[in-house]
Amino acid sequence: MQRAAIAAVSCLWLCSAAEAAAPRPAKSPPPAADAADLFGGYSFTRSGEAALNGVQFSAALPYRRSLRLVADVSAHAGSFADVHLHQLTFLAGLRFSPKPTRPRRLRPYGQALIGGAHTSSRFDTSGAAVTSSSNAWGGALGGGADYGLSRRWAVRGQGELLLLHGGGAWEGDPRLSLGAVYHFGR
C-alpha cells in the first residue's frame, strides 16, 4: 500500500517537473473540457464496521460533449476486532460533467461506475492465521468537484456510495477521496 502511494506521488511530481520545463505560451487558457485526465490520491471507505484507508487512481477520456469514460482502481486496508481487511476494487463507467460554473476553476461532476471488488481478511489466533477471500460485483454512484490550480493541475474531492453484492447480500459503504488531477491536452 505504501509503495503504491509513493509511486503515485513520484508520478505526479515527474509530470509537474516535465510541465515546468516545457515552454509556455504568453497566456494559458483554462484546461480543455475534452482533455483526458489522471487522478491519484488518498481514499477512505468503510467495510461493515471497519474503517479502511488507501489509495485511489482513475483515468478519464472524453466520450461526448459532457460525458467521459472513466476507469477507476482503489486499494484499501484496515483492521477491526483483530481482523485485518484488504479490499481492491476495479470499476469503469461514465462521468457527467456539466458546463463549467463561475468561477470557471470549479468543475462539479456526477458518475456511475460498475465493476467488482476482491476482499480478503486475516485473523491471527494463537500462532495460527485464518484467512478468507471473496469476490463481489457492484458499482459506485456519486460525484465530486475539481478545483483548478493551473492549466494542467487541479485538486479533486469526491464522495461515492460503493455498492457491492457478495455472499447473497448487498452492502453499501461510503467512499471519500481527495487528491490531485493532471489534465492532458491543449
Residue spans per domain, the chain: 2-16+38-183
2.40.160.20, 1.10.150.530, 3.40.1640.10, 2.40.128.20: which CATH number matches 2-16+38-183?
2.40.160.20
Matching residue, cell 485473523: 123
- If one counts every other C-beta atom within 10 angstroms of the C-beta of residue 7, the result is 13
Nearest 10 degrees: Cα torsion 26, 27, 28, 30: 180
pLDDT tens over the chain, length 186 residues: 555 555 554 554 445 554 555 555 444 444 455 689 999 999 999 888 889 999 999 999 999 888 999 999 999 999 888 889 999 999 999 999 887 666 678 899 999 999 999 999 998 877 778 888 999 999 999 999 999 999 899 999 999 999 999 878 888 999 999 999 999 975
CB 109 within 8 A of CB 146: yes
3-state secondary structure of 98: coil
How confident is the model at residue 117, as a pLDDT? Answer: 94
Helix (H) or strand (E) holding 106: strand 106-125
